[in-house]
Structure 1
Amino acid sequence: MSNNSILLKIENKVAYITLNRPEVFNSFNREMAFLLHDTLDACEKNEDVRAIVLTGNGKAFCAGQDLKEVTDPELNPGFKKILEEHYNPIITRLRAIKKPIIGAVNGVAAGAGANIALACDIVVAHEKVSFIQAFSLIGLVPDSAGTFFLPRLIGFQKALALAMLGDKISAEEAEKMGMIYKMIPLENFEEDVNNLALKLANMPTKALGLIKELFNQSMTNDLESQLALESKLQIEAAQSEDYAEGVAAFIEKRKPNFKGR
């Protein structure tokens, strides 16, 4: 399915969502934001989708907000709407969907584009990619949960410096500082992303969704609350068809056939 600025392909239980405004480095306008909302919702509801890949078309992953939109007196929705109706719902959807989401960063990820990538569950980038918290360079502050995720990924001091200085960070540096899961050689990028997505799609995705929920809650829970939630979700996982299949396959010394249930 193609919807102008967002492309969707579903193959082998994987949904490939592509940001598709390459002529402006996949920067967001209002239409593209709402199309991404709808596409993520559709992937969440589709039982045939077991994993999601979010990537970009062309030379960039996403350059953030389309500044032409916010400087056009007729088109500009205003920052309140841009944040509350565009970016904040995207971030909350990425974190709430109980399916693994790969951020496959295929080019520069700047501003909100960088933070949308970092909100994905597993972030990979090829060796030519760069990340930049570009907000301060035009007199703005980080949004799209950059001030939430970045300090937790790389530490307070480093995150604050990147937010203030707007330094460009290579994929290699991003991997070393723990900002992303892995840097992949450019020539292997598409193949490795597909293999990673297929691996996740064939895993016990019911459990993967519960793991995601646990890690989300760990951001704000105290120890006792987190232990209680682990107990609750472990009991839920132990009642799943995937757990029964995993144990049976282990005892029978065969490859499990997980269904995500």
Structure 2
Amino acid sequence: MSEHIIVERPENLAAVQVIRFNRPDKKNAITQDMYRLMVEAMRAGDEDDAVRAHVFLGTEGCFTAGNDMQDFLSYAVNGRIGEGHVGQFLKALATVKKPMISGVDGLAIGIGTTVHFHCDLTFASPRSEFRTPFVDLALLPEAGSSLLGPMTMGHQRAFAMLAAGVGFSAEEARDAGLIYKVVPEAELESATLAAAAEIASKPPQAMQIARDLLRRGDRADIVARIEEESALFGERLASPEAKAAFEAFLARKKSA
């Protein structure tokens, strides 16, 4: 449903496009339709000269719990995870032209964590938690995080987050280089939007060149890694190990 992703340009911040997860009853779990809407918004914002920065926000106490598992299994069962709206979203993250800023309050699970490897500034509240339980589900890191994680955090922190599934607090995520700043819950959204407005106020061509120079490596390398991850991810989905892990996960949800 379209109301699960809200795309807006605040009146006092006309050059900033906000993409907001808005499914709080499901912890902002992401469906295929939500991925589609985000891709459309990112592409439209990139093509609109009036937009100079993208902002990702969630709702109070939750950025996103990652993929909606029932929806995820319905389209991922064929193993072609790199195709469709999910694959388009992951590649959009790697190729978006304009600066991306994010604000995290609360849960940031799976793609809710790995999206920030692509953001230029991320703010988080002290109660935020960053976690990627990929291997717990017999799966693999995604969104190019197997490349960007070690580049950003070093091997051991990246291994702890992306392979061992260790959760990071906001302070730990900041110290690891995943996020920029920790701010109080009450100030999170205003701080995020203020930073986006400041970035949007700068000369746009110079900002784009500076951002391109600062991006980690060649974007083609990141897209290639996303494609490699997606192919391996699809193979893992078809494995008996993953089937058993998902059955156990869904059983725990039903009993909870």
TM-score, normalization by structure 1: 0.76
Tell me the secondary structure at the aligned position of residue 134 of structure 1. Answer: coil
CA distance in 2, matches of 1:70, 1:162: 22
Amino acid at match of 2:196: A
CA displacement at 1:61 relative to structure 2? 1.0
CA distance in 1, matches of 2:22, 2:151: 30
Tell me the secondary structure at the aligned position of residue 81 of structure 2. Answer: helix
CA displacement at 1:25 relative to structure 2? 1.5
Task: Tell me the matched-pair count.
Answer: 217
- When the two chains are superposed, the root-mean-square deviation of aligned CA atoms in Å is 2.1
CA displacement at 1:107 relative to structure 2? 2.2
Distance 1:160 1:99, change over 3 A: same
1:69 to 52, 68, 71: 71
CA distance in 2, matches of 1:220, 1:54: 21
CA distance in 2, matches of 1:220, 1:28: 25
CA displacement at 1:49 relative to structure 2? 0.9
Contact 1:94-1:119 at 8 Å conserved across structures? yes
Tell me the secondary structure at the aligned position of residue 171 of structure 2. Answer: helix
CA deviations 1:16-68 (Å, max 9, x no partner) are 11012222212221111111111111111122111111111243211111111
Tell me the secondary structure at the aligned position of residue 82 of structure 1. Answer: coil
Matches within 5 A, 1:105-254: 105-216=104-215, 218=217
- Of all paired residues, the percent bearing the same amino acid is 28
Equivalent residue for 2:249?
none
CA distance in 2, matches of 1:61, 1:91: 17
CA displacement at 1:77 relative to structure 2? 4.3
Matches within 5 A, 1:86-97: 86-97=85-96
Q: Which moved more, 1:93-102 or 1:24-33?
A: 93-102
2:57 to 55, 58, 65: 55
Instruction: Show structure 1 runs of 5+ residues with no match.
Output: 222-261
Tell me the secondary structure at the aligned position of residue 207 of structure 1. Answer: helix
Which of structures 1 and 2 has the bigger CA Rg? 1
Tell me the secondary structure at the aligned position of residue 113 of structure 1. Answer: helix
Amino acid at match of 2:51: V
TM-score, normalization by structure 2: 0.77
CA displacement at 1:218 relative to structure 2? 3.1
CA deviations 1:180-236 (Å, max 9, x no partner) are 111112222122112111101101121121122223363589xxxxxxxxxxxxxxx
CA displacement at 1:79 relative to structure 2? 6.2
